[in-house]
């Protein structure tokens, strides 16, 4: 359940906020009192998220962003400053999948796109967010990785490499900024009820197989990830930084 006013007076940026985990995280943070900048490559879907947040009584603004473009990311962060006066919290969540091919057949374009969005995008976001957080005397960041940040599966090389990269990037930033009041953590979801857009549609057989790989025997709900995002961003997690928190229904336990 949302914790009332946990983020009162705080400003949060959520990328990929038009769908899935991003929308659920934006919803949760707004319900807990944060002013939320909902950023997505699809401005209309970010706008829908904002409408929902406002209808529920939250403060929110939508912005179009392509996280693989550093100038676009700078502009999105500037919206937080312009609309709400600064930035305290960030959920660097936007991500894409690649075509399911083994390394020897994966297209260079497919590799480049996944690395650009999932890994370079997180770098561009933190690079733009951290100076704004330092102006406020600190902050907290959650970078959305994946179970593929600690293990891999065949035909997911670019995705796994990008998500492992997010974990290393998170640790380095945590070490660099811990002394200045900024906590940085990675979060590794297990398989969600809906795949990342662009990934192969799942047959019922595939879904059944995926369920069986999670100790809980089911796939995850976006709200379950949002709950962990909220905790990691909150003062309840004040001694947690540089970590990779798995929220994976036991996927990596085997």
Binding characters for ligand NAP, 167-196, by CB under 6 A (x = yes):
----------------------x-xx-xxx
CB-nearer residue toward ligand NAP: 27 or 146: 146
**Beta-bridge mates of residue 139:** 182
Among 50, 80, 117, 160, binds ligand NAP (CB under 6 A): 117
| Piece of 14-22, 167-175, 176-184, 233-241 that binds ligand NAP (CB under 6 A) | 14-22
Set 7, 111, 123, 159: catalytic member = 159
Tokens of 42: 């699809």
Cβ-contact 27, 54 below 8 angstroms: no
- What b/e sequence results for 21-34 when a residue is b if at least 16 CB atoms lie within 10 Å of its CB, and e otherwise? bbbbbbbbbbbbbb
Among 10, 11, 14, 16, binds ligand NAP (CB under 6 A): 16
How many DSSP H helices and E strands does the chain contain?
8, 7
Cβ-contact 157, 201 below 8 angstroms: no
Backbone dihedral angles phi then psi of residue 199, each to the nearest 5 degrees: -80, 155
Site for ligand NAP in 144-163 (CB under 6 A): 144, 146
Per 3-state DSSP, the chain is made up of helix, strand and coil in percentages (nearest 5) of 50, 15, 35
* Residue 42 beta carbon to ligand NAP: minimum distance, rounded to whole angstroms: 4
Asked if 159 is an active-site residue, the reply is yes
Q: Is 66 in the site for ligand NAP (CB under 6 A)?
A: yes
Among 79, 96, 156, 232, binds ligand NAP (CB under 6 A): 96
Q: Is 33 in the site for ligand NAP (CB under 6 A)?
A: no
Tokens of 4: 């009332």
Using alpha carbons only, give the angle 136, 188, 162 rounded to the nearest 5 degrees.
90
Active-site residue numbers?
Answer: 159
Q: Which residues bind ligand NAP (CB under 6 A)?
A: 15-16, 18-22, 40-42, 45, 65-68, 93-96, 117, 144, 146, 189, 191-192, 194-197
């Amino acid at each position: 359940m949302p914790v009332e006013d946990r983020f009162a007076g705080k400003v949060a940026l959520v990328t990929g906020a038009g769908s899935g985990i991003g929308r659920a995280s934006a919803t949760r943070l707004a319900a807990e009192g944060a002013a939320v900048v909902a950023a997505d490559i699809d401005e209309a879907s970010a706008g829908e998220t904002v409408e929902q947040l406002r209808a529920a009584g939250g403060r929110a603004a939508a912005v179009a962003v392509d996280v693989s473009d550093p100038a676009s990311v700078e502009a999105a962060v500037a919206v937080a400053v312009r609309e709400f006066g600064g930035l305290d919290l960030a959920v660097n969540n936007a991500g894409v999948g690649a075509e399911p091919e083994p390394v020897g057949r994966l297209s260079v374009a497919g590799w480049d796109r996944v690395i650009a969005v999932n890994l370079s995008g997180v770098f561009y976001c933190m690079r733009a967010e951290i100076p704004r957080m330092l102006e406020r005397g600190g902050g907290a960041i959650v970078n959305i990785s994946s179970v593929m940040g600690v293990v891999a599966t065949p035909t997911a090389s670019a995705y796994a490499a990008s998500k492992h990269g997010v974990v290393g990037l998170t640790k380095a930033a945590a070490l660099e900024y811990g002394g200045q009041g900024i906590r940085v953590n990675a979060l590794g979801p297990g398989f969600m009820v809906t795949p990342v857009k662009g990934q192969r549609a799942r047959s019922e057989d595939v879904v059944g197989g995926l369920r069986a790989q999670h100790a809980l025997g089911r796939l995850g709900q976006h709200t379950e990830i949002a709950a962990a995002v909220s905790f990691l961003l909150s003062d309840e997690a004040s001694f947690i930084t540089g970590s990779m928190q798995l929220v994976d229904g036991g996927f990596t336990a085997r």
